[in-house]
Structure 1
C-alpha cells in the first residue's frame, strides 16, 4: 500500500483533475410545486459532476479559512445523510480542518459534550433543530463561534454569541476569499501531513460516555485506496448511500468512492430506501444487517399473507436458495468450482423465475453486491440472499479502525465469515481468542484519553478489538462474539449471546430484536421485540384485528406462536445455551429511547435496565439447572 496520497483531499483534487465531467453525486430535490411537471411533495434526482463538486468544496474550504479556521481546528457536522454532508466534510479536509461527527439523533446533552470535548470552533447544522441543541448549552461551548445551516428558515433563529450563516452565504464568502487568494485551497491541501488529525468520531457509547476516536488523514487515504484495490468498489458502480455519515461505516465509503470515481446516490431517509432502490438502480449498497432481516421478514410476511400455494412456493424457494448457496460455497472452497448437483440446479433455475427475479427487481435489478457491517449477519439470511442473486458482502471493522478492516469479495463470498483483511491490514488471534488488528486504518488514539488508549493500542500498532474470532486456513476471519458480551452461566458454561440471537433471527420471521440474558444465572432467557409490519397482518388473520401492537404481543396466541420458534431454536443449541423463558416487549427497541445506537446496535445495559422487572420475573423463584 505504498504510494498512496497523503490525504483524501489530495485524492479528491486528483479525481477532479482526472474525470472532471463525470457524474460524482446524485441526490433528490423537491420539485417546484408551481412547475408544469411538479406537484407538492414530488421529487427528482439531480447530479453534480466532479468539477461542479470541486467548485462547491473549494468555496466551502475557502469560506472556512475566511472565518479563521486553521490546521486541525475542529469543525463539527450535525446532519442526516445528504450531499451537503459530503461537501462540508470535503471542505473541512481541503481547509486543513478536522471533522467532528455528530449524529442528528444525539440529544442536546451529548451533543454539547461532543462539541466541548472536541473543542469544535464551527458547526455545520442541518436545520434549526440541530442548531437549537448546540445553543441550548451555549455556556458549555466557549470555542464554538460559527454555525452554518444547510436548511435555513426564512428568518434565521436567535443564536446568542454565535455567528449564524447559511451554507450559501459561507460559499459566497469562500468565493470572495478565492478572488484574493486563488491558490488558498491548493496551498492548504499541499500542507496536509499524513499524521494530521482529519476526523474525530465518537464511539456509539453502548456502555458509557462516548470516546473521541482520532483518525488521521492517512487512515482515510488508506481506506480509499484499499477499497479500490481489493475490488470492493469499482469505477462503473452506482452506489446508494443511505447509511449515517456520522458513523464510520458510511464515512469510509466516501474515501473509496473518490478513489474509484464512481457515482454515489445520496439520501439518508430510511423510509425512502424501498422507494429509491428501483429509481437509483444501484450496483452496490451498504447496510446494517437489520435492513436485510427486515427485507427478508417482509418478503416472507407478504407470502404468508397471500397464503396457500404462494407461501409454499416462497418457503420452498428460500430453502432452495440456501441449499444452492451452501453447496456452491462448499464446492468452491474444496475444488475452486461452484458446482451444484444437476437436480438442485434445475430447482434453483425454476425458483429464480418464480421468486428470486422479483427480489432482485425490488433492489433495482442491477445489484452486484450489498456490503453488510456494524453487527453480525445471521448466516441463514446471508445464504438466502446469496442464493437469490443478491450477495451480501459481510465485512468487519470498528470506529477505531476507520471501519474497513476485512470484507468478503464478490468473487469469493464465504457466508459466516467477514472475509479477508483489506490489503495492508494484518489480523491475528490472541491466546484468549481476541482479534487483534494492525494497519494504516487503525486510530492514533482516543482524544485526550491516554490511559484508555494504552489499554487497547499496543506500542507496535496492534489494536485490541474486544471481539472474539478465528482465522481459517485461507485467511478468512470469523467473528464469534464481543468479548465483553460473552457471559458465563452459574454452571460455569460460556455463552456467546450474538450467536444465539443470530440463530433465532434465522428461524423466526417475526422477530425484530432479541437480547439473550444469563450472566451468572443458572439458565438463559430472552427479551424479544417483534417486527410490527410482520406480526400485525398475522394478528389480523388470527382473530386479533383492532388490537394495538402492545395488545397483540401480550396475547396468548402470539406468545404461543413465538414459543414455537424458540423451541425450534433450542433444538439447534447446546443445553446451556437454550432459552428457558422469554418476554415479548410492548414495543420495539429504538434509538429515541436510547436502546439502539445510530448504527442499530443494541445497548445491552440500557435494555436490561429498562426491562429489569421483566428480567427479574423470568428468574423469580426459579431453580432450573
Structure 2
C-alpha cells in the first residue's frame, strides 16, 4: 500500500477558534474539575469556571498592555499550570503564542524573539528573565506569578486589565478563525537554527475534537485524568493538553524530575504522554535493580513472558489462537508478583500510555503491554501539529506507529519518504519561503524527511530518517535506527550513534549510563570503577545482539565508548530528549575517525 487515509470525524465552523473549546467545556460543566494544581504538598482542583475567570482577567491585562490581535507573545517557562493559563489568555487576547524552551540559550532566545517579533515575553522567574535580558534587552518582560513586588507580573497585568470591557475582550477573542495562526512553534533544531512553524487554530482545535472520538477509551471515561510532565514548549504536549480541555479530562502539571514518581503516586493518572527515553530508563532501572538483588533471572523470565504474551495478543488480533494456556499461567503469576511493581512506577492507575517524539523499540512496546501498560505509539512532527498517525486501543500493531489520524492522508513516495496531508499540517514556515518550497509537494503534501512503509491495513512503520541514511564506501545503504534502538535496549547503553557514511564499514559511538554501570558492577562482581576492558566486553555483547538483526554488510564492526554523558545542557539532546546527531558527530568527530584509523 502506498497511501492510507482516515476520514475527518468532527468538523468545526470556519469562524471558530481554539478558545471555543474552553467556552464549550465551561458551558457543559462549569464546576467540574478541569485542572489540578499542587501547592503546599497537596493537589487542588481548578474548575472550568475558575479557570475561565483567570484566563479572561489575564487576557484583559494583555490587551491593556498594548497586545493587539495577531501580535506574538512569547512564553519561557517549565511545564506548569501558569503556562496553560498564559496560553489560553494569549488566545483570548487574539494574539499568537510563541513557546520558548526553558533550557534555551541566549542565542536561541534571541533568534526566536527576533524572528517572531514578539512584543512581550512571559517568563517563569528572574533566572529566565536574565536570559531574555541578555538575548533581547529591549523586550518587555512579565513574570508568571501573582506577587505584587514591583516587577511586571500576572498580578500587575490583571490590575491593568480591569478597565478593559467585556465587549473589547470578546472582539479580540472571537476575531480569530480556524485559518489564523495560533502559535509559532520553533523546531527543536536537531540541525541548524530552529524554524518557526505556523500552527493554526484549526490545526489545534480540529486535532483536539477528533482525537476525542479517535481514542474514546482513554478520553471519554468519567475518571480520566493525566499528568503532564513533558515540556509545554513542545507542540505535542500542548496539543494533548487541548484534547484534555476539549474533553473535560482533568490535567495536572509537574516538571520536577526528583518529584515525578511522588507526583505520579499521588495524582494516579489513568493515561500518560511519554517519550521513549523514559520507557528505556524505567526498563533498564528495573532490570538493574533485579540483577543487584540477585533476581536477574526472575526479571528476565518475567520480561520474556510479557513480550511473548503481547506478541500472542497481536497474533489473536490477526485471527490467531492467542496466548497458550502455559503462557497465560506464567503471565498470571507474574501479574501478581512483579508487574504491579512496574505499574506502580506510573502511579498504579495507568492503563495506557501514548508514546511519541522518537521511535520506541518493539521489544519495549511488547514488554510494557505484556506487563499491563498498553503503549499506543504514534508519529508526527512539529509541522503536523501532533501525531498524524497513531495506534488506537482497538487498532494496534506493535512495531508500527498506527493508522492516519482523522482528516489525514499518509503516502509513501517512490524513494520511501513519508508525506502527509490533512488538518494537522501546519500553514508553513514563518518568514521562510525557500523552506516552504522545499517542504511541500506540488499537490500540497508535506515532505517529512522520514522513511517508512504502509502495510496492507494502512499501518505505518518508520524505517529511518532520510538524512540519516548511511551509504558505505561500497555503496550499501544502511538505516541506522534499527541498530541504535536495539543497542539502547541494553541496560548499560544510554545513547548510540551508528556511523559509516562513505566509510568502508559500519561502526558506532556509545555512551553508558553511570548509574547502570555501578549497579551492573555490583551484580556481576566487578570492582569499582569498572575496568574499560570489562565494560567494553559487555557492550560487545550488546553490539552482537544488534548485529543479529541486519545483514553482514550492515553490521557494526567496531565501536568507541565515549567518556561523556549526552544531556540537554551539553547540547547533544533536544528538550524532548531526542539525540542531536549532528552535534555529536561535530564534537566527537575525532573519536569517529579513530574507528577507521587501522
The match for 1:582 is: 559
The match for 2:4 is: none
* Alignment gaps of 5+ in structure 2: 1-7
Cα contact 1:10–1:189 (8 A) shared by 2: no
CA distance in 2, matches of 1:470, 1:101: 33
The match for 1:191 is: 175
CA distance in 2, matches of 1:511, 1:88: 39
Cα contact 2:418–2:448 (8 A) shared by 1: yes
Q: Do structure 1's residue 21 and structure 2's residue 41 form an aligned pair?
A: no
TM-score, normalised to structure 1, is 0.91
The match for 2:348 is: 365
The match for 1:177 is: 163
Cα contact 1:128–1:153 (8 A) shared by 2: no
**Counterparts in 2 of 1:290-309, with a 5 A limit?**
290-307=277-294
What is the number of residues matched between the two proteins? 585
CA deviation vs aligned residue, 1:111-163 (integer Å, no higher than 9, x gap): 01100110000111011111111111335x5xx3x31112588866xxxxxxx
Moved more, 118-127 or 13-22: 13-22
1:527 Cα offset (Å): 1.0
CA distance in 1, matches of 2:177, 2:542: 55
CA deviation vs aligned residue, 1:558-602 (integer Å, no higher than 9, x gap): 111111221222233211221111112212211101111111111
The match for 2:310 is: 325
What SS does structure 2 have at the residue aligned with 1:88? Answer: helix
CA distance in 2, matches of 1:585, 1:276: 34
1:173 Cα offset (Å): 2.3
Q: Do structure 1's residue 3 and structure 2's residue 42 form an aligned pair?
A: no
Q: 2:547 aligns with which of 527, 551, 570?
A: 570
Moved more, 273-282 or 106-115: 273-282
The match for 2:595 is: 618
CA distance in 1, matches of 2:436, 2:163: 40
CA RMSD of aligned residues (A): 1.7
Q: 1:261 aligns with which of 241, 248, 255?
A: 248
CA distance in 1, matches of 2:387, 2:275: 14
**Counterparts in 2 of 1:8-407, with a 5 A limit?**
8-29=18-39, 31=40, 43-138=41-136, 141=138, 144=139, 146-151=140-145, 164-174=151-161, 176-178=162-164, 181-231=165-215, 233-235=218-220, 236=222, 237-307=224-294, 310-334=295-319, 339-407=322-390
What SS does structure 1 have at the residue aligned with 2:23? Answer: helix
Q: Do structure 1's residue 484 and structure 2's residue 479 form an aligned pair?
A: no
CA distance in 1, matches of 2:181, 2:545: 51
CA distance in 2, matches of 1:137, 1:421: 40
Q: 2:505 aligns with which of 497, 501, 523?
A: 523
What SS does structure 2 have at the residue aligned with 1:565? Answer: helix
CA distance in 2, matches of 1:167, 1:86: 13
1:319 Cα offset (Å): 0.3
CA distance in 1, matches of 2:574, 2:147: 29
1:373 Cα offset (Å): 0.5
The match for 2:5 is: none
Q: 1:534 aligns with which of 506, 510, 516?
A: 516
What SS does structure 2 have at the residue aligned with 1:99? Answer: strand
Cα contact 1:595–1:603 (8 A) shared by 2: yes
The match for 1:437 is: 420
1:291 Cα offset (Å): 0.2
1:15 Cα offset (Å): 1.0
1:545 Cα offset (Å): 5.2
CA distance in 1, matches of 2:147, 2:66: 26
CA distance in 1, matches of 2:343, 2:307: 16
CA gap 1:487/1:152 in 2 versus in 1, 3 angstroms: farther
1:541 Cα offset (Å): 4.8
CA distance in 2, matches of 1:128, 1:222: 36
CA distance in 2, matches of 1:560, 1:213: 45
Q: 2:410 aligns with which of 427, 436, 439?
A: 427
TM-score, normalised to structure 2, is 0.95
1:318 Cα offset (Å): 0.4
Cα contact 1:94–1:185 (8 A) shared by 2: yes
* Alignment gaps of 5+ in structure 1: 32-42, 157-163
1:499 Cα offset (Å): 1.1
CA distance in 1, matches of 2:279, 2:183: 29
CA distance in 2, matches of 1:171, 1:497: 52
Cα contact 2:94–2:174 (8 A) shared by 1: no
CA gap 1:492/1:306 in 2 versus in 1, 3 angstroms: same
> Which protein, 1 or 2, shows the higher relative CO under an 8 Å CA cutoff with sep ≥ 6?
2
